[in-house]
Amino acid sequence: MSERSQTVPTPEGEYFESTRFAGLSFLLGSVALVALVLCALGAVVNPHQFSYSWLFAFAFFFTLCAGCFFWTIVHHATDAEWTVVVRRQLENIAALLAVLALLFVPILLLRHHLYAWMDIPPGHEAALDFKRAYLDFNFFLIRAIVFLGYFIVASQLLRRFSVRQDRDGNPQFTIWMRRVSFASLPMFALCLTFGAFDWLMSLNYHWFSTMFGVYIFAGAAGSSMSLLVLVITALRQAGYLKDVVTLEHYHIMGKWMLAFCIFWAYIGFGQYMLIWYANIPEETQFFIARNTQSWWALSMLLVVGRFFGPFAILLLRSIKKHPHRLCIVAGWIVFMQMLDMYLIVLPALHGTGVHVSIWDLLSLIAIGATLGFVYLRLVPRTSLFPVRDPRLIESLKLVN
Amino acid sequence: MMKTPFGHKVYAMAAEYPSAAALYEAAKRVRDAGFRRWDVYSPFPIHGMDEAMGLGKSWLSGWVLFGGVSGLLTAALVEFGPSWGLYPVNVHGKPWNFWTVPAFFPIMFELTVLFGAFASFFAMLGMNGLPRWYHPIFNWERFSRVTNDGFFLAIEARDPRFTEAGVRELLEQTGGQHITIVHED
């Protein structure tokens, strides 16, 4: 019943011309190479600081990619209509999890700088002995392999099926993708939760929060939706997806950004208030480190910048239906996700106050440029949207 | 006020349409003819009808914002007022100045939601003219089919552009059937 007439896309789809962006690709590739070499130097010169910096950058990009993976499986599990046109980019970003698995290796190599519990022999720390069954390096390693392996297999499967459907339009692939997604829903929740426990929460083995996994998830989902807005807008700026992604799609993406902005605040505050109110030293130490000294200013910036600001702005429909304005908010939210990860990782090292290091920046650049480079190699291989998805036409005609 | 030859007040002129699609197309024509006081009736919601009718944005959201902000301010007043101003109490060594605010967030949140919900509910009733025990459109016998398979459009007599001949012609042009005058009482 829509009044909008849509040009039905050609079955060949739209292809990203990699030659147009050879310069950018070369730039990203060389920046990544230089930054990785410098990071290797950092791991030798200042391994203690570098290990935390690298973990921070890893956590930031990992949550972004895992979030995109989450949106893909939710799309299939709920048989969503609007996501079809943006799904290929979600799949491409989720496929970067395979690269991130490689970039996890430095964390394993530098583990003794990061995780104090690995070096304390049994019998020296009662609180730790109680957790030995879980906090054990061999088990930690197996879990990391399972989590990352699962993310790689599932994201690759979903992308392969989707790309093969582009060729023959076989609806069977939709069914298979749905099956992978159903199995993925509980697996994703477990892997992300325990991944967050292992890699971030165990930086301080005294501290625990049962909400920590959900907290990481809330940040990941909201910031990856923001990243999707940025990626889609960048592609549209380059002249692609013009007739495919409409303002209606932007409206929905904006609504999701708002929803997860609220959800993040709900979970973040829930975690904070229960600990603040109960006032048990074992639990409060995490927030005391982050609420005092110069960390206080950054914590307040996170509270205001990750929730109050975007919340008020995203309430307006005129923002959600205006790609460039929405991009400003989306970029800000991605930046806030970075701050969030920074505030989780770095105070574990610099408990007395903010201490920005060059390795923080270099790690970010190294991982970011590597992922950007691989992403630019992935995009031209397939159409920019799933051309023969059974629900493509409905998605193109979306009205909400 | 328009009256029939028998002295009844006229509420509207109405027509029946064979399908949702026909009603949708008719609505666009009536919208383009510039009528303001008219409505369509169907057994189920028709997607895109708000656009076809040219309804524009509802200002219910404004009321909800008003309700939500009132709730937030009420909570802030009843929490900060006693605990910070009137009778500060040391609870668990927690601060009793502004920084005790985390303890107040749940109530602030809940009153914001509660007042927002109240505002949306009552404003919705008010904007729809509810509660209302009887509506003149039910004076038309055929209209009872609206909950089954009938699609109706009625243009009210109080619309400034309403003329009996003009509206009848418009409804005929848009494919309306059983065109009739509906009495006010």
Please, which pLDDT band fits residue A192 given cuts at 50, 70 and 90?
very high
Please, which pLDDT band fits residue A1 given cuts at 50, 70 and 90?
very low
Q: Is the pLDDT of residue B169 over 50?
A: yes
Identify which of A14-28, A116-130, A217-231, B30-44 has the greatest average pLDDT: A217-231
pTM score of the predicted model: 0.86
A4 lies in a domain?
no
Q: What percent of chain B has pLDDT over 70?
A: 99
B100 lies in a domain?
yes
Q: What pLDDT score does A6 carry?
A: 52
Give Cβ neighbours of residue A228 (< 8 Å, ≥ 6 apart).
Answer: A68, A71, A86, A89, A90, A93, A253
B95 lies in a domain?
yes
Q: Does A276 touch chain B (CB under 8 A)?
A: yes
Structural domain boundaries, residue A173 = 18-396
Q: Is the pLDDT of residue A241 over 60?
A: yes
**How far is it, in rounded angstroms, from Cα A368 to Cα B83?**
48
Q: Does B24 touch chain A (CB under 8 A)?
A: yes
- Closest residue in A to B25 (Cα) is A1
- pLDDT, one tens digit per residue, over A344-385 is 999 988 888 888 899 999 999 999 999 999 999 999 988 889
Total beta-carbon pairs less than 8 A apart between chain A and chain B: 27
B147 lies in a domain?
no
Residue range B66-91: mean pLDDT, rounded: 91
B49 lies in a domain?
no
Phi-psi domain of A204 (left: phi exceeds 0; alpha: psi -120 through 50; beta: other): beta
Q: Is the pLDDT of residue A4 over 50?
A: no
Total domains present in chain A: 1
Q: Is the pLDDT of residue A5 over 60?
A: no
Structural domain boundaries, residue B90 = 60-127
A12 lies in a domain?
no
The total number of residues written for chain A in this structure: 400
Q: Map tokens 């400034």 to a residue.
A: B160
Q: What pLDDT score does A50 carry?
A: 93
Q: Does B166 touch chain A (CB under 8 A)?
A: no
B108 lies in a domain?
yes
A10 lies in a domain?
no
Q: What is the ipTM of this complex?
A: 0.74
Tell me if B47 and A277 make a contact (CB, 8 A cut-off).
Answer: no
B71 lies in a domain?
yes
The sheet carrying B177-183 orders its strands as B38-41, B151-156, B10-17, B177-183
Mean pLDDT estimate for chain A: 91
A48 lies in a domain?
yes
Total domains present in chain B: 1
Q: How far are the Cα atoms of A5, B63, B74, B101 from residue B114, in angstroms, in the given order?
A: 42, 13, 11, 20
What residues of B are in contact with residue A3 (Cβ under 8 Å)?
A: 48, 51-52
- pLDDT, one tens digit per residue, over B24-74 is 999 998 899 888 889 999 999 998 898 888 888 888 999 999 999 999 999
Q: Is the pLDDT of residue A2 over 60?
A: no
**How far is it, in rounded angstroms, from Cα B46 to Cα B62?**
25
Residues linked to residue B13 through DSSP beta bridges, in sequence order = B155, B181
Q: What percent of chain B has pLDDT over 90?
A: 37
Q: What pLDDT score does B2 carry?
A: 74
- pLDDT, one tens digit per residue, over A52-106 is 999 999 999 999 999 999 999 999 999 998 999 999 999 999 999 999 999 999 9
What residues of B are in contact with residue A6 (Cβ under 8 Å)?
A: none
Question: What distance in Å separates residue A2's CA from the closest CA in chain B?
Answer: 6
Task: DSSP for A55-74, please give it.
Answer: HHHHHHHHHHHHHHHHHHHH
